[in-house]
Amino acid sequence: MHCITLYQGANFQGASKDVTELLPCISRDFKFQILAESVLQIQEKDTSSAQQNLPNLINNLVKNNEYSIDLQYFLFALALNKQIEGNFSTENLYLRNYNEISQIDIFDLVSTQLPLASLTHPIANELICKIISNRSSIVLLNIGIGKGTQEVDLLRRLKKQGVKPQSLTIIGIEPSAEVLSQAEYQILNVAKELDFNLNFISIAKVVEELTEQEWSELGNIPGDLIINEAFSLHHIVSSAQENDILQQVIFQLSQLNPVAFILIEPNSNHNISDLWMRFNNAWNHYGLVFKLIDNLAISPQSKRMLKVQFFGREIEDILGNSEETRCERHEDIDTWLARLYKAGFKPYMPNTIINLSHPLVNISEHTSYISIDYEQTPLVAIMSLQR
């Protein structure tokens, strides 16, 4: 178990007999003690104290919010309270005034201002450009293509580098038909502008719902296949202990015999049923993410928006939803690589130069992935493998 330095040296007074044994790395901080004990009580299905302590903590944090970390306490307390009682309703300074903010504004803020997202597509696209450079017929399959922002950037990079395959097919898998239509429109317009011979294929569903016929059709499209996904596969509701749908999807992707598979995923394990381990992993991961956000050169309102509207919803899903319904099932780098190796993939890091930097994070190159690190901890990985 790994805990951030702030919580080392715990000695809970009045705690249950198991707490001291289970929490060797947590301090006497009273607010964190309430969260930690509530997690244990939820696991033991004895939540009488938590049913009182969590709402009291939430109300206290609404009134006393001098420090940034209070927002982290608040979001975790809300999530755990939902685990016990469902949605906790309270008018508070953190959640008010957010109802009118569109998700598009939030995603734009994440993709442009947060280096954990803003650096990932350029890094992945540099790898893809290198892979495409000596090939004439390319099929690019993007799982969770969204509005096609990454592909637009890719086409402009290819043009700038003088790389122009004879044929280029982009396959967009995206559950929203409306969003997929916007991606197609945007990508085809840029392709026409840059004089690329490009064909776009739309698949309006999630990847785990592809039929055998659709998998077969994907495998029969002529050209060298490159698979790309960003922050999408971890949404598959699956676990290694049960019906491992994620592993099945990765195996199906390997059967397509791609020349490269590029994955972009956070580095934290939330795909575990043990609530205590999930809580610790989430606290450490989002603690670093929130600390990074605090140091961004953006407005206090934008920082709160990132924490509450974007990551707060992830925290709520990880800790507040049932095991059967939660979908933010992040896994750590080693687990992702083990899954990929099991499906027959092997490391493939093209020899390219990543001319990117950021004042707050480091970009580290490894055998099979490039990580974006904050305080010496990889928070996001861009993995590159081949079949």
- Which pLDDT tens digit goes with each residue over 183-209? 999 999 999 999 999 999 999 999 999
Q: Which residues of 106-136 are buried (b: 16+ CB within 10 A; e: fewer)?
A: bbebbeebbbbbebbbbbbbbbbbbbbeeee
Which class for 91: exposed (0-12), middle (13-18), buried (19 or more C-beta within 10 A)? exposed
pLDDT digits (tens, 9 = 90+) for 103-143: 667 887 899 999 999 999 999 999 999 999 999 999 999 99
Q: Could you tell me the two tokens for 302?
A: 């934008």
pLDDT (0 to 100) of residue 96: 41
> Are the CB atoms for 372 and 378 separated by under 8 Å?
yes
Confidence of residue 97 (pLDDT cuts 50, 70, 90): very low
Q: How far is residue 193's CA from residue 221's CA, in Å, rounded to a whole number? A: 25
**Position with higher pLDDT, 60 vs 88:** 60
Cβ contacts of residue 149 below 8 Å, gap of 6+? 111, 121, 186
Q: What is the largest CA-CA distance in the chain?
A: 71
Percent of the chain with pLDDT over 90: 74
SS3 content of the chain, % helix, strand, coil (to 5): 50, 15, 35
Q: Please check the confidence at residue 100 and state whether its pLDDT lies above 60.
A: no
What is the overall mean pLDDT for the chain? 87
What integer pLDDT is reported at residue 185 of this predicted model? 97
d(Cα 50, Cα 55) in Å, to the nearest integer? Answer: 8
> What domains does the chain contain, in order, with CATH numbers?
5-96+273-320 (no CATH), 111-269+330-386 (3.40.50.150)
Spatial CA neighbour of 285 closest among 270, 271, 300:
270
Query: What pLDDT was estimated at residue 209?
Result: 96
Strands 137-143 and 167-173: parallel
* Per-position DSSP letters for 48-61, written without gaps between them: HHHHHHHHHHHHHH
Of 35-44, 171-180, 347-356, 365-374, the poorest mean pLDDT is in 347-356
Type of residue found at 337:
L
Q: What is the mean pLDDT of residues 70-83?
A: 94
Chain segment 5-55, per-residue pLDDT in tens: 333 333 333 333 343 343 333 344 789 999 999 999 999 998 888 998 999
Q: pLDDT of 353-368, one tens digit each?
A: 788 999 999 999 999 9
1 pLDDT more than 90: no
Give residue 274's pLDDT.
Answer: 95
In this structure, what are the phi and psi dihedrals at residue 143, rounded to the nearest 5 degrees? -90, 110
H-only helix segments in the chain: 19-22, 30-43, 48-63, 69-85, 103-113, 115-118, 120-132, 149-160, 177-194, 212-219, 245-255, 275-294, 300-305, 312-320, 333-342
Both tokens of residue 354?
Answer: 């990543």
- In the chain the first and final C-alpha atoms are separated, in Å, by 34
Q: 279-324 pLDDT, tens per residue?
A: 999 999 999 999 999 999 999 989 999 999 899 999 999 999 988 8
Predicted pLDDT at 61: 86
Distance, CA of 207 to CA of 210 (rounded, Å): 6
pLDDT for residue 66 = 64
- Using an 8 Å Cβ cutoff, are 158 and 132 in contact? yes
